[in-house]
Structure 1
């Protein structure tokens, strides 16, 4: 496979817009601030006329990064390891008919795909097949199919438990439909929850937040049309509603994401801009007491665009904002009601009005710092903050040994003292955070890490890949 990559890059680089730095507020034709355009692949290249959702996968075997983009007529898979020369590897066609809506999540090296298309069910695709593509772009077949529901608006996966939660189906009143996917190619129905409204989107976590009453429980945070809905789904045969939360000027509670400390739930209302005249509005719920979620504050942006999908990575919130493109916010001081835009990349340069065009979703969890934006009209964008995620190949000051490692790894420096070490998994979740008295060598115990690829960040500037056997 590796011998074929230069040829594939030559063939497919002609179909993408190449790297364009953000200079004086523009990256070519795209307004920007703090984010460079790495490349773009058009919808025509994917053989479709519309795009929708996006997600990502990092191969734990070699650290290669792949963008997954939902299309009207299927799902595209793109190797973005070289983000300036992305490789379109192929498409998995829709299981039934075409649809405006398609959603993808990843678990255990498999993609799980749902759609609003009638009779679509849930497709399962083995992502390790992307290692061996020799005749790109290929037309892929699904590796498994789940027909416990027909159409679904969205799918949520808790990777810690191996359960998928399809939402917006015709089952359980539109509430979450549970599927055991611990064996990805043999999905098994596991019940559902019908005790609240139709659910549009959600996040599910093993709870480790400030409410000690629910520590260790599997908690579902739903965006349920006119409310947020918090449900204990630990026992799949007996899920229990905990509480609901409301806010002012509700029109359509669309999607939300928890901060890392589980204290706040950041949501967007998809229709309030067009119907109430707000500029882009974000509502921050205080969920430190799961039995009593309350609005902490609201933020209104300077543009009119409709907000769509938003995701938290550390102290930043990445929001796909339709005609305003990707907007990035500093959320490090939510306690004091500070929500500050720091970067943006506008994939729809002609207007920021409240209409349904432009950036549908964003995936910011690649260890490389590359960010995927899926645009309804213009295809797949890869952008990056040039000040972050220094390339491994340019770093000689630090060393990791042994690598791969099993129980102990030594981080050493030739010149610069080591004062901070962080380790992230392939989802971008920080799992080790160490502050160190300045030292030129530090020994780390990694015996509790599962086998796979991790990213080590040293002194907040330098990234290194770490393989754990």
Structure 2
């Protein structure tokens, strides 16, 4: 076999890679005459290795120097276009659809080439019967190997005990599922701490199975996936990520905290409209690193799994895009260096596979979320289009008026909110990476008696100055000014008479004096001559009365909030969240604060209720209250 090491590209190739984002290409190895399948990684003794599923066997490549990868050895195996690898301790386990059972390789002697290896075809009840398999996964917590899509039991999951002697697995059973048709076949899966998340590709669903009792696994739940061709699963916390290996497919996220109520949170495509096919996803530090065949691979910020944002990508297959099974088979993002290794089925030549070594720059997305309401009724407004002008970022509000969207680029943008039959609003928003921007918008029907064009609240020492404008008014009695320290309880501060039938712009202002330090909320209730009314957007305001201040804004949220901080001098801050019973909920932060900052607080995994943030500095202790509804 001839390996070609490529570090330089032609001008043509560089031009095609111009859209690669937050990923730097380091090197490429070309496998002359061999296609590649999946890839895994291994690190020991200060060295990093790519374990590459080549057509003719397992290729082990030293990638410690990412610019100069060096193949150490290729251990022959049955010829196959499918080859999957996983590791446990210092052993590699390899399966293929070409036969040979499980190839086991002792990696202890790396970087030397004298590596003990053997073919294991099962023992006990399946002695010498395991021939082919499609995929595998290791429950590293419990020390069990799971093999999927084999020639045994119609592709059900096989279980092998690796404890004691990983070089000599012991077959302990299989998951004897009872789904209809070909639904029992598991194509791939993820197992952690005796819980298996199986991808039933031909059934179009994933299963959650308690494998604690290997002789009698218990089905916990199943869930259909958007493309009904569930290929790969990967769990992170209470979220399960899946891929559907079909044209025009999605990477999807699910809330699995309650198996009786699994909820699809979000789904995302690498290149919408291109018909590209997703393959395998892996999660690292709240990023999904996912192979997309002809699109190469993507990096998606999944720190807010209900609002996934693509923040990086690299096209390892610049020869073309769209549907089809060429290009990137798999990616591995877990090397200690942080480098990513990726396997291309083929590259410039149809029969030459490629190993890519790359360095990612993990960047958080900018998140924009909120609710759209009907100003005439105060009810949620579905079907409203929210888009950031000059970008491809847009979303439509759901039945409850909520929307969630995001993008990589930070800066100041114009958010346009529109719906047929309503007056379009353009609002300036400033976005920052890793920060949630909440944008709640009220749209008024066309022809509504009062068309409000602007509403702002500013602090003047301990007073709040409210200013608002209308473009036109018909039969407007006036505006009731409402104020609250949360967004549930309101009191009336005063009334400002309207301009009656004035059919031209008008300016208004109102001052609320002597406010206590903290977060305050304001809204306007516009009242017609006939008694009909409508509410404005809610505006928040921080009144600073101390050298250090902290408060939630708003303090009533659905799944995420913002903790606002202000200090007149640099200070060290520690924050911990508690529920109403005073029990920590696993959210805590420590950081250095100067001036002011906003800390996003993700609450989607917590039940509704009252929560408290205890904020401690060297000299002060502040408690901020938050309501999750």
TM-score (norm 1): 0.69
2:297 to 312, 326, 330: 326
- Equivalent position of 1:101 in the other structure: 82
Write the distance in 2 (CA, Å) between the matches of 1:109 and 1:360: 24
Write the distance in 2 (CA, Å) between the matches of 1:56 and 1:27: 27
Q: What pairs with 1:360-375 in structure 2 (closer than 5 Å)?
A: 360-375=329-344
Q: Deviations over 1:58-101 (max 9, x none)?
A: 11xx221111100111010011111111111011111xx31111
| 1:200 correspondence with 2:180 | no
The alpha carbon displacement at 1:156 in A equals 0.8
Write the distance in 2 (CA, Å) between the matches of 1:270 and 1:200: 11
Q: Is the 8 A contact 1:36 1:383 kept in 2?
A: yes
The alpha carbon displacement at 1:202 in A equals 0.4
Write the distance in 2 (CA, Å) between the matches of 1:18 and 1:231: 45
2:7 to 9, 18, 24: 18
Q: Is the 8 A contact 1:179 1:189 kept in 2?
A: yes
Write the distance in 1 (CA, Å) between the matches of 2:217 and 2:28: 43
Q: What pairs with 1:151-170 in structure 2 (closer than 5 Å)?
A: 151-170=132-151
| 1:296 correspondence with 2:265 | yes
In structure 1, the gaps of 5 or more residues are: 1-11, 207-217, 389-416, 421-432, 439-469
The alpha carbon displacement at 1:16 in A equals 1.2
The alpha carbon displacement at 1:173 in A equals 2.9
Write the distance in 2 (CA, Å) between the matches of 1:349 and 1:418: 48
The 1:110–1:289 alpha-carbon spacing in structure 2 relative to 1, beyond 3 Å, is same
- Equivalent position of 2:607 in the other structure: none
Matched position secondary structure for 2:154: helix
Over alpha carbons, which structure has the higher Rg?
2
The 1:282–1:172 alpha-carbon spacing in structure 2 relative to 1, beyond 3 Å, is same
| 1:175 correspondence with 2:156 | yes
Q: Is the 8 A contact 1:243 1:292 kept in 2?
A: no
- Equivalent position of 1:58 in the other structure: 43
1:68 to 41, 48, 51: 51
**Structure showing the higher helix proportion among its residues:** 1
TM-score (norm 2): 0.52
Q: Deviations over 1:295-353 (max 9, x none)?
A: 2233234242100011000121001000000111111112xx31111111101102111
The 1:90–1:130 alpha-carbon spacing in structure 2 relative to 1, beyond 3 Å, is same
Paired residues in the alignment total 351
Q: Is the 8 A contact 2:145 2:161 kept in 1?
A: yes
- Equivalent position of 1:315 in the other structure: 286
- Equivalent position of 2:166 in the other structure: 184
Write the distance in 1 (CA, Å) between the matches of 2:591 and 2:278: 43
Q: Is the 8 A contact 1:242 1:290 kept in 2?
A: yes
Q: Is the 8 A contact 1:323 1:354 kept in 2?
A: yes
Q: Is the 8 A contact 1:177 1:191 kept in 2?
A: yes
| 1:37 correspondence with 2:51 | no
Matched position secondary structure for 1:130: coil
Runs of 4+ aligned residues of structure 1 deviating over 6 Å after TM superposition are 417-420
Q: What pairs with 1:203-222 in structure 2 (closer than 5 Å)?
A: 203-206=190-193, 218-222=194-198
- Equivalent position of 1:346 in the other structure: 315
**Structure showing the higher strand proportion among its residues:** 2
In structure 2, the gaps of 5 or more residues are: 348-353, 364-570, 575-586, 593-629
Write the distance in 1 (CA, Å) between the matches of 2:361 and 2:268: 27
Q: Is the 8 A contact 2:4 2:31 kept in 1?
A: no
Write the distance in 2 (CA, Å) between the matches of 1:315 and 1:437: 20
The 1:231–1:342 alpha-carbon spacing in structure 2 relative to 1, beyond 3 Å, is same
For the aligned residue pairs, the C-alpha RMSD in angstroms reads 2.9
